[in-house]
Structure 1
Amino acid sequence: MHMQLLNDDRVIIYDRTDFGPSNLTLTEDQCSRSNLKDCTAHSAEYDSITNTFRPLTVQTNNWCSSGATLPNGTLVQTGGYRNGDRAVRMFQPSCNGNGCDWVEFQNKLLQRRWYATDHALPDGRVIIIGGTKAFNYEFYPKTTPSSSQQLYKLPFLEQTTDPAAENNLYPFLFLHADGNLFIFANNKAILFDYTKDVVVRTYPAIPGGDPRSYPSTGSAVVLPLKNLELGVNVEAEVLICGGAPAGSYLKALRTRRFLPALNTCARMKITDPEPTWSIETMPMARVMSDMLLLPNGDVLIINGAGKGSAGWELGRDPVLSPVIYHPNNALESRFQVQTPSQIPRMYHSCAILLRDGRVLVGGSNPHAYYNFTNVLFPTELSLEAFSPPYMSPTNARLRPVIAEPLSNLKIKHGKHLKVKFLIDRLLLINPAWVSVTLLRPPFNTHSLSMTQRMLVLTNTSLARPRGFGKFQVNVAMPKSNNIAPPGFYMLFVVYHNVPSEGVWIQLT
């Protein structure tokens, strides 16, 4: 139900704690520390390098919760259900070898948070917005005495509530290039200054009036940010794809009528003085899909259904074929359909990018409990990897290999970095085809990738030969925390649309 890639290449995976016993047993020591009724795990750490996993001891119910990473790489995980709805859970990567596990704090949130959205901020905190009957926001950590008691109202969430859902759940949330927050709910959006608690501007609604956020669950990204050298006047575009027509949730819930999902994407440059949505048609309709930024700047659309809505057993017609969206292509040539999977990934499935460029896909459980038989879409326990076209054998010789920097380099905003890489010595390198990207891995749940962000770094000098097959490109880190909140990013060299394996960079 939830996934986060950490800066030690391990993926934290977890489900709700009240489904009953799982298929992964806790160790004897973990069981002695667990307050749950069974000694099975409801969270796991998956090592994407060694393809191994181990159980973790999440204690409070994290069903439909949210999360983000702090500047030091620690995963902060907030809210959930019943005994977990005001809890904060922390997971620190690489904490003394194999002993890392969840540390949990009860009643650290001021508001019960179920289906809320988190986002990492330029000052290192995390903002937590919305949730069931929660038309407000708060921050974590509680860095001052006043912040520990301060809950801020956000009327926009109540104003845009979908009557069918009776709540405004999992709103889309992105950090604008100017440091304000772009908040999207139902089919409307605002730009919000959380430091002054004021709405800066109101954006036009998406044409057609159909909702795009939970339970009419579409998915969304901020397209890669470019021209970062000045830290100001950076253009930002939001892309929102799929969803379900108005009324889909209630029709599926009450009458078992499953309406076709939306087959459109809406794209808007949110930095324009007078922004408007442009509408594009996808190759197929989709609800409950995931959208991931790939290292070369393309967007992957994966998972989901062709009919119905988010919610227990309310989706039909699984969409098995991933689609890649090329944002820089001409208008009618942006979508590229990929080879289909054989596994339906419906409600409560996940997808995240790994450092080697593959996409880890897992889960799918549209049922109130684990259910493996006599249902349309059984509970799915498998993980699989989707390999984008840039990983095909025909592209192997185009793939750069980063020689420097080594992983986990710390670098400050505004500093310059020399990136050395190797490439097939027989290639005639065109410097214009070389780029360097930074990608912040998101927290993924319910088709929403929280704090997902990609930056195309500015080249301060072109790639130059340093011997056969050896090259160097000099790049500048973004000057502003608003462009790149502090934390861990994956750095990639991209040549001719083919990315290298990434290395970890901590932007401080």
Structure 2
Amino acid sequence: MHMQLLNDDRVIIFDRTDFGESRLPLPNGHCRRDSNDEALQVDCTAHSVEYDSLSNTFRPLTVLTDTWCSSGATLPNGTLIQTGGFNDGERMVRSFQPSCSGCDWVEHPNELLERRWYATNHILPDGRSIIIGGRRAFNYEFYPKTKLYNLPFLSQTHDHQVENNLYPFVFLHVDGNLFIFANNKAILFDYNRNVVVRTYPTIPGGEPRNYPSTGSAVLLPMKDLELGSNVEMEVLICGGAPPGSYLKALNTGQFLTALNTCARMKITDQNPTWAIETMPMPRCMGDMLILPHGEVLLINGVGSGTAGWELGRDPVLSPVLYHPTNAQGSRFTVQKSTQIPRMYHSSAILLRDGRVVVGGSNPHRTYNFTNVLYPTELSLEAFSPSYLHPSNADHRPTITNPLSGHKIEYGNNLKVKFMVKGLVNQDSIKITMLRPPFNTHSFSMSQRLLVLTNVKPVKQTGSGQFKIEVITPGSANIAPPGYYMLFVVHQNVPSKGIWLQIT
């Protein structure tokens, strides 16, 4: 249900705790005893794991309170904080430290002022995390805890029958405010003054795009970062379910075809408008991930129905690449299909080596492995974009300096050395920085890709060896503090990333 890549290349994966027994026992005979658990009050199995992507190994973790439909973010020091959930988890904050042998979840009760179930987190320029919305929670708060603030926009976009504004899409704007999209509407919100500073046009057609009519959204790659608050920002929202989908599936067993459109808008324009594009196939509950070279992957989901128990049909097995810089009408490329349906409660994240890990899928109230249309799925698989094909091996750079873990500051020059076979020219090299997001319910929270500006041209320093000088992001509004993966991209083929911490 939830995944986050940490800066030690380990992936923290977890599910709700009240599905019943998993197939992974807790170590040393440990058990979770929870009188609130609706499935199993004494549970000796794990509902969270730490997956080491470098060694392809995993170990069980112990999460004690219910993380069902919760949210999260990574702090500037790399700590994963994870907020809310159901029953005994609804006001909980949980933390997990990277680069710590044998570490486990630490749970902090009553750290939230409101019950947070289906809320969204986003890291802020000052290093705090903001937690927005959730079921019947038309407000927001911060971690570390301060006070509760009302957000009327959430009640205004709330559909009283099916909600349709849960897990709102939130992106940090370069002016320091927050772009918030819920249901079919969007605002620019000053969370410091608690005021709406701009109202954007309603998405054409008015179809809902948030849970349970679950579409997905990304902030497209940001470039020309030296322009500061004048940097262009574009949001892309894809898929979802038409109005009435949830109730028709729930009450009549009729599964409406999912939306097959994407809406794209420059949120920094003076008079922004949505442009509508048509995907190769309809998709609800799909995940959208930015890849290191700036293209967007659409993966997972269903072709009809909606989010919720047993309410999705026609799994979409074919990933699609979206090419943001292509002309409209030629931006989608269908990729090789998987054989494993990834439906409700699946997730996907990018690894530092450029692969995308996809895991899970459980459209049932409990774990259900047999005699059902879509069994509970426990596997992980990797999607390898075409840049990892052996035919691109000679184009793939290797970063030699700086070393992973390097610390950088805002607005400074950064020298990057790399090796690559074949010819290199100025136009074929770019340096990107990607913040690894918290992924759940088809939205990758705090995800952003930055294309750094070259300040000196590429220079060859030896046989197959090169260096380039770029300038780091100019402010925390462009790149909130924390860990990022830095990539050298050569002829649209990215290197393996290195970890940088911007402070």
- How many residue pairs are counted as aligned between the two chains? 497
Could you say which residue in structure 2 is the equivalent of 1:14? 14
Could you say which residue in structure 2 is the equivalent of 1:133? 136
Any idea what the Cα deviations from partners look like across 1:354-383, whole Å, max 9, x if unmatched?
000000000000000000111111000000
| Secondary structure of 2:226's aligned partner | coil
Could you say which residue in structure 2 is the equivalent of 1:418? 415
Quote the Cα distance in structure 2 between the aligned partners of 1:166 and 1:211. Answer: 10
TM-score of the superposed pair, with normalisation by structure 1: 0.97
2:207 matched to 1:207? no
Could you say which residue in structure 2 is the equivalent of 1:452? 447
Any idea what the Cα deviations from partners look like across 1:162-194, whole Å, max 9, x if unmatched?
233146311111111111000000110000000
- Matches of residues 482-497 of structure 1 in structure 2 within 5 Å? 482-497=477-492
| Secondary structure of 1:397's aligned partner | helix
Task: Measure how far apart 1:229 and its partner are.
Answer: 1.4
Work out which of the residue numbers 103, 106, 109 in structure 2 matches 1:103. Answer: 106
Could you say which residue in structure 1 is the equivalent of 2:472? 477
Task: Measure how far apart 1:21 and its partner are.
Answer: 1.4
Could you say which residue in structure 2 is the equivalent of 1:28? 28
Work out which of the residue numbers 429, 432, 438 in structure 1 matches 2:433. Answer: 438
Quote the Cα distance in structure 2 between the aligned partners of 1:400 and 1:238. Answer: 29
2:341 matched to 1:344? yes
Aligned residues: percent identity? 72
Could you say which residue in structure 2 is the equivalent of 1:217? 214
For structure 2, which runs of at least 5 residues remain unmatched after alignment?
35-40
Could you say which residue in structure 2 is the equivalent of 1:500? 495
| Secondary structure of 2:381's aligned partner | strand
Any idea what the Cα deviations from partners look like across 1:48-93, whole Å, max 9, x if unmatched?
0000000001001000000000000000000000000000000010
Could you say which residue in structure 2 is the equivalent of 1:387? 384
State the one-letter code of the partner of 2:318. Answer: S
State the one-letter code of the partner of 1:107. Answer: N
- Matches of residues 358-369 of structure 1 in structure 2 within 5 Å? 358-369=355-366
Task: Measure how far apart 1:28 and its partner are.
Answer: 1.2
| Secondary structure of 2:230's aligned partner | coil
State the one-letter code of the partner of 1:284. Answer: M
Task: Measure how far apart 1:33 and its partner are.
Answer: 8.1
Work out which of the residue numbers 40, 43, 49 in structure 2 matches 1:44. Answer: 49
Could you say which residue in structure 1 is the equivalent of 2:67? 62
Could you say which residue in structure 2 is the equivalent of 1:168? 165
Quote the Cα distance in structure 2 between the aligned partners of 1:78 and 1:91. Answer: 12
TM-score of the superposed pair, with normalisation by structure 2: 0.98
Whether the 8 Å contact between 1:458 and 1:475 is mirrored in structure 2 is yes
Whether the 8 Å contact between 1:133 and 1:167 is mirrored in structure 2 is no
Quote the Cα distance in structure 1 between the aligned partners of 2:472 and 2:425. Answer: 23
State the one-letter code of the partner of 2:79. Answer: T
| Secondary structure of 1:268's aligned partner | strand
Whether the 8 Å contact between 2:31 and 2:45 is mirrored in structure 1 is no
| Secondary structure of 1:421's aligned partner | strand
2:97 matched to 1:92? yes
State the one-letter code of the partner of 1:86. Answer: R
Quote the Cα distance in structure 1 between the aligned partners of 2:227 and 2:238. Answer: 31
Structure 1 residues 343, 33: CA separation in 2 closer, same or farther (over 3 Å shift)? closer
For structure 1, which runs of at least 5 residues remain unmatched after alignment?
none
Work out which of the residue numbers 185, 188, 197 in structure 1 matches 2:185. Answer: 188
Task: Measure how far apart 1:19 and its partner are.
Answer: 1.2
State the one-letter code of the partner of 1:505. Answer: L
Work out which of the residue numbers 321, 326, 334 in structure 2 matches 1:324. Answer: 321
| Secondary structure of 1:253's aligned partner | helix
Any idea what the Cα deviations from partners look like across 1:239-283, whole Å, max 9, x if unmatched?
000000011111111111000000000000000000000000000
Could you say which residue in structure 2 is the equivalent of 1:75? 80
Task: Measure how far apart 1:438 and its partner are.
Answer: 0.2
2:302 matched to 1:305? yes
Could you say which residue in structure 2 is the equivalent of 1:113? 116
Task: Measure how far apart 1:32 and its partner are.
Answer: 6.7
Q: CA RMSD in A?
A: 1.1
Task: Measure how far apart 1:479 and its partner are.
Answer: 1.2
Quote the Cα distance in structure 2 between the aligned partners of 1:178 and 1:389. Answer: 35
Question: Where does structure 1 differ by over 2 angstroms across 4 or more consecutive aligned residues?
Answer: 32-36
Structure 1 residues 32, 198: CA separation in 2 closer, same or farther (over 3 Å shift)? same
Task: Measure how far apart 1:25 and its partner are.
Answer: 1.1
